Structure 1
């Protein structure tokens, strides 16, 4: 079995250095026929909160760099800044569902974290790409840094090299997944399934899926 969707590519590198989740979301929106810019998505729809750093955002390992939001609730920092981090599916689900409501679009976003890849492939079969967490350039995830979640006693450990792409297709004969990568003009990729699934697991098997409301 194989299937590949043809999505427009948007590159994040020059304007939104930490905006991979937003750029991937807008690629999906354009595929669904919703004409929304990345800037408007970030400024009007993306829930975000500032980081308050006491040490460099570039540190990794068991290092506390300050306070910040829960990335399941808010984007951590500013997608226009290299010193920001990112967000997890809960944030993107909320943003996309607000977009769909605003545009009166017959879709809903759902948290697909932990779903087997065969479920993602069924979504692609239906013409609906998947917003997909893996790692930057499919390099191994790196432990840390960590920060205290503002207003709580909880500490969050970030997995560095976090990256968000769009899963657009699969080829079970060649054992490949197809993805749109917004980073550094990488564009449309074909990635070995085993490598893709490994990096996806390293980032918590996180994903956002789109359902059509009929």
Structure 2
């Protein structure tokens, strides 16, 4: 078994859709940065509000911006490229920030967890079934975006023979263990997104 001891932060209450930011700040605090979730959101996370135009909802591409606000329970989230960009602004002078989307779990474990480095990791809330929708028109044109609901971001901190350990910010779960096959299935449902950081020489 490998399990990295990482400071825990809950998203409950103040950050209902802020799982990506909370998970990232847990990593930053683990690395020794004195930073709050609010500071990360306000200074580094690029957010974009939804707009109503002619009865249609328009929103951001979650690969480019956080869709709405992490403080709003009615808004959504963001994908790995947005967190990569925010981390590059926050700690890019000291760390290489790597979008590890699509890499197998063995890669994440070997290159990060086994070396004592947590990984920002996308799956589903409480490992629930993914749900297709809702949809919105993209603010910058280019058609309609379909969200995969129950999207959730956690910090992967370890593993054993049966599953994986996460600092899960949802509802104050703390460190939680989820079964291996279930995690891998829900990770695939959210495009196998992950972000890693490696100390520069």
TM-score by length of 2: 0.95
Q: Is residue 2:114 matched to residue 1:112?
A: no
Do 1:65 and 1:145's aligned partners in 2 also have CA atoms closer than 8 Å? no
Query: Are residues 196 and 188 of structure 1, via their aligned partners in 2, closer, same or farther at CA, if it must alter by over 3 Å?
Result: same
Q: Is residue 2:124 matched to residue 1:135?
A: yes
Name the counterpart of 1:42. Answer: 41
Q: Structure 1: which 4+ aligned runs deviate by more than 3 Å?
A: none
**Which residue, out of 119, 140, 150, partners 2:139?**
150
Give CA-to-partner distance per residue, 1:167-195, whole Å, 9 cap, x none: 000113xx210001001011110111111
Name the counterpart of 2:8. Answer: 9
| CA RMSD across the alignment | 1.4
Name the counterpart of 1:87. Answer: 78
Name the counterpart of 1:57. Answer: none
Name the counterpart of 2:174. Answer: 187
How far apart in 2 are the matches of 1:113 and 1:52? Answer: 29
How far apart in 1 are the matches of 2:37 and 2:107? Answer: 27
3-state SS of the aligned residue for 1:210? strand
Gaps of 5+ in 2: none
Aligned residues: 199
Query: Are residues 47 and 78 of structure 1, via their aligned partners in 2, closer, same or farther at CA, if it must alter by over 3 Å?
Result: same
3-state SS of the aligned residue for 1:79? coil
Gaps of 5+ in 1: 55-63
Q: CA deviation at 1:38?
A: 0.2
Give CA-to-partner distance per residue, 1:47-94, whole Å, 9 cap, x none: 11001257xxxxxxxxx9611011001000011111110000000000
Q: CA deviation at 1:107?
A: 1.1
How far apart in 1 are the matches of 2:113 and 2:78? Answer: 23
